Amino acid sequence: MCAAAAWIPALPLFAYYQLAYQHPLAVGSSELALLSVTNLPDTAPSVAAEMFRPEEFLYVLPFVILGMLTLWCERPWLFATVALWITATLAVHLPYWRCINVMCCRCSPF
């Protein structure tokens, strides 16, 4: 019942994709390739440099490390869940963000 109900909000999106791209599961974005694993070696050094800049994550990083160490000692299953979530998020979205950011910065005066 719940699985069937989950399809209800997705149906208009599938209908739009069918009309726009002639397939309900197709997307019209050229950015999809930026989410591939093959982008990781090209973007990992620049993403790491961005993360350790003081304007970005450098101030938050000690608190993240301290929190993760505390979780590891007190609640290992929660640590594993949070570590997997952070790893998956960073592995996919930061390289994608970096590619988009580099493309935008080429033409933006900011």
Alpha-carbon gap, residue 106 to 63, rounded angstroms: 33
- Calculate the CA dihedral of residues 91, 94, 96, 99 and round it to 10 degrees: -130
3-state helix, strand, coil in the chain (%, to 5): 75, 0, 25
Over residues 46-59, the pLDDT tens digits come to 777 777 777 777 78
The sign of the dihedral angle between the CA atoms of 40, 44, 45, 46 is: positive
Alpha-carbon gap, residue 95 to 35, rounded angstroms: 7
Query: pTM score, two decimals?
Result: 0.48
Over residues 58-81, the pLDDT tens digits come to 788 889 899 999 999 999 999 999
Over residues 86-108, the pLDDT tens digits come to 888 877 776 666 555 555 544 44
What pLDDT sits at residue 107?
Answer: 42
User: Are 71 and 82 within 8 A, CB to CB?
Assistant: yes
Alpha-helix residue ranges (DSSP H) falling in 22-75: 40-51, 61-74
Domain coordinates in residue numbering, the chain: 1-29, 36-107
